Amino acid sequence: GWKDVISTTIINFNNEKMQITWAARELFSSENVSFSYTFDEGKNKVWKPCPTYLLDQDYNSGCLFKTEGPTLAISIRKSNGSEELFSKTLKSDFYIKPNRPENVTFFWKADTVTVSCNKPERAVKCLTLELQYKSKFDNGWQSRTSKCCSVGEQGFDPRKCYSFRVRLKRLVPYCNVVNYSSDWAAETFWMNGTLLDSCGDDIKSHSNTVTVLSCLLAVLLVMLILLILLCKWQRLRKSVMPAIPDPKYIFADLFNDHNGNFQEWIDKTDHAMVQTKLEYEETECIIEEESQQEDEKNCDKQEPQEKIFSFSRAAENNDPKAAQIACLMPRSNTIASFAGFQILMNDDMYVML
């Protein structure tokens, strides 16, 4: 009855090494067992003892030995070899687990990736190459399978970082009775055809970029708000406290050329005004001592015109030539306007307002 209930696991590693395991604790809890095998066929079999046992809590739970042929016979007996507990004959070629791919290369062209590896020495027709990839935006691995030993896939986004891994698989049921695949080759990380150490670098770089852009936008926003507030404050300040004009800028020549000496400035300015506005003067009224009153009446009869007053030092010193002026107005209180100033004249005095 033991021969019907014992379950074994058989693996032929790349047709180079065999591994047979069984559940020792569940099947043979009361005693240890021995294992023997042979690749010979027919009646003249030579059984070989297990060279390397696999242990489970000091109980023999498996055996590891070299693959020597396509047909394998195994036997499990009691520790003293008196009674056979399990025996089986099998084709070792149907339990092959291939080695992981060697010399894996990646070829990028636009959004298409082609992955290839070296061809194994034996049973290439029984093998397929499986490619798996994923990005940080994928929930799980995406898988593509092709004949050994090249597989291609398109649709890769050059802005994303992808993880790749490949392995070899045996065809079932044509070549294997068990669906064995090789171990995965070393996982690699690629972005737009560039090999990276990890996709964490891409995530970190993307995170740093987002942080820098966010800071720049925040600074620009704060500067814009401050500029708007400054403009509004300037408008409010001008409406509440209007600026008082500085006469220094209106009468630059008074302060720059004459150091604020109004007497000197008004003399030179008055002389210049007389020369520049001669074309606007009315017919000169000459006052003579003997006909002064008559001429004043004639001047009063003329229509009001623009009048130019000369305030030279000769007039102040009662020079006779100062009597010659254009359209003399009565010498009582007279107001003249000059360069934004109002000048009050009374007899020989003038006051600047």
**Long-range CB pairs of 101-110, under 8 A, 24+ apart, other chains included:** 101/129, 101/149, 101/166, 101/167, 101/168, 101/182, 101/185, 104/166, 104/185, 104/186, 104/188, 106/164, 106/188, 106/190, 106/195, 108/190, 108/192, 108/193
Backbone angles phi and psi of 18, in degrees to 5: -105, 145
Q: Which pLDDT band, with edges at 50, 70 and 90, does 86 fall under? A: confident
Cis-peptide, bond into residue 149, ω within 30° of zero:
yes
Closest among 119, 69, 75 to 99, alpha carbons compared: 119
In a domain, 190, yes or no: yes
Q: Report the CATH number at residue 112.
A: 2.60.40.10
Q: What is the mean pLDDT of residues 284-289?
A: 49
Do 111 and 80 sit in the same domain of this protein? no
**Tokens 């023997």 belong to residue:** 36
Q: Do 13 and 67 have their domain in common?
A: yes
Higher pLDDT: 115 or 238? It is: 115
Give the Cα separation of 253 and 341 in Å (integer). 15
Query: Is there a domain that residue 209 lies in?
Result: no
pLDDT at 118 over 60: yes
Please state, rounded to an integer, the average pLDDT across all residues of the chain. 75
Into how many domains does the chain fold?
2
350 within domain boundaries: no
HSE-CB for 152 with a 13 A CA cutoff: 9
- β pairing state of 52-56 and 334-338: unpaired
Q: Is the predicted pLDDT of residue 236 greater than 80, yes or no?
A: no
**Quick one: 107 and 192 in the same domain?**
yes
Last residue of a domain, one of 169, 196, 223: 196
* pTM beyond cutoff 0.75: no
Who has greater pLDDT, 202 or 41? 41
Predicted pLDDT at 230: 84
**Final residue in a domain of this structure, among 96, 122, 155:** 96
Q: Specify whether 139 is located in the same domain as 86.
A: no
Calpha distance 19→13 (Å, rounded): 8
Residue bearing the bigger pLDDT, 202 or 131: 131
In a domain, 174, yes or no: yes
Task: Please indicate, yes or no, whether residues 171 and 135 belong to a single structural domain of this protein.
Answer: yes
Structural domain span for residue 103: 99-196
User: Which of these, 149, 153, 38, 163, lies nearest to 99 by C-alpha position?
Assistant: 149
| Claim to verify: residue 90 and residue 113 sit in the same structural domain | no
Regarding whether 125 and 82 lie in a shared domain, the answer is: no
The fraction of the chain above a pLDDT of 70, given in percent, is 66
Instruction: Give DSSP secondary structure letters for 211-235.
Output: HHHHHHHHHHHHHHHHHHHHHHHHH
Find tokens 């929930």 and name the residue. 139
